[in-house]
Chains A and B, each alone.
Chain A
């Protein structure tokens, strides 16, 4: 009886700790002192030649870092871009020197701001599926992400409202 009770207790404890733990683990990926949270991409609309991925990158370290490259097998070319409005005109430009992730800071890549831009998408990005994306940082190195794909006009990661 005692064994049964303690077993039940142990199972319950594992269930309680494992559930939110698992959810957190899938939300953030660490590389060096960087934490990459809630990555997501937009599904291709129509023929879907261009794609964008978004995420939040936090730097928990004492040294500045920089996102210098991104790549995926799903597109011919992947770059780090910024959308900016100047006098009512939307301009999208490559961030030539990379995207700075300041020490102790947090950078949010989001629609109408900075994003990982995929050009010449070869495999259509389908809502509900996952995109494999590799990010390379100047100091922290490279990390591979499983990026969930939201709807074509989505404004945030799937499952976040």
Chain B
């Protein structure tokens, strides 16, 4: 009888210990989750500043070699795309053109760049013709496939030939590209400031640029 009582007490103690340990574990995990969320919010920008170096060495639409350093003093508004793009790129470049108009005199210190991710088709001449139809201030950049790869990497931009269109290439010599569609804002010293989403409005982007410019001054 005494043995049974001891065993029972032991069982209760074990159960209590398990429940207690679980509670403690849960509290620690919760704490960690809260801390991680806060840290993520605080450090996202620092991480972006580290990884989005904004470096590039490309050919502008006049055929001249250019580097990111050549644009110091200007806030860069960078978009990656391609001229055979029927929807996203014309939409985004149209938005960039309207943002430049919306900024008025504040646009003088902003340089929009359109970097092709399809250098096989987008030569500097083709880029020149294309960007001119959206805004006179937009500069189109092309280069070798290695140069484009490096420029995309330094912005953590993604691109790849779209898979389902491959059969089409044989029919009409056309293919589409998948690509990230963010609009990067780099400050006048070439440091990452912000990425705008493809769904941001002209007003939101213009206000965002002004805000970052004011913070910097």
Q: Which A residues fall within an 8 A CB radius of B?
A: 42-43, 45-47, 49-52, 76-77, 81, 83, 85, 88-94, 111-112, 115, 117-120, 151-155
Contact = CB atoms under 8 A, between A and B. Distances in A.
Nearest to A115: B87
B180 A88 contact: yes
Q: Secondary structure at chain A's binding surface: helix, strand, loop or mixed?
A: strand
B167 to A, nearest CB: 10
Nearest to A83: B87
- Most B CB contacts (10 A, CB to CB) among A83, A91, A115 go to A91
B94 A117 contact: no
A47 B122 CA distance: 10
A81 B165 CA distance: 11
Interface in B167-197: 168, 171-174, 176, 178-182
B64 interface: no
Contacts of B174: 49-50, 76-77, 119-120
B126 to A, nearest CB: 6
A112 B95 contact: no
A118 B86 contact: yes
11 contacts: A42-B86, A45-B90, A46-B83, A46-B129, A49-B174, A89-B158, A89-B180, A115-B87, A120-B173, A153-B91, A155-B94
B49 interface: no
B162 interface: yes
A47 B134 contact: no
Contacts of A47: 83, 126, 129-130
Contacts of B127: 46
Interface of B: 83-88, 90-91, 93-95, 97-98, 126-134, 158, 162, 164-165, 168, 171-174, 176, 178-182, 198-199
A93 B126 contact: no
Contact of A49 (B83, B131, B162, B179): B83
B135 to A, nearest CB: 8
B172 A76 contact: yes
A83 B85 CA distance: 11
Contacts of A88: 158, 180-182
Contacts of A50: 83-86, 174
B178 A89 contact: yes
What are the 3 A-B residue pairs with the smallest beta carbon separation, nearest first? A153-B94, A46-B130, A46-B129
Contact of A119 (B95, B126, B172): B172
A97 to B, nearest CB: 13
Contacts of A85: 181, 198-199
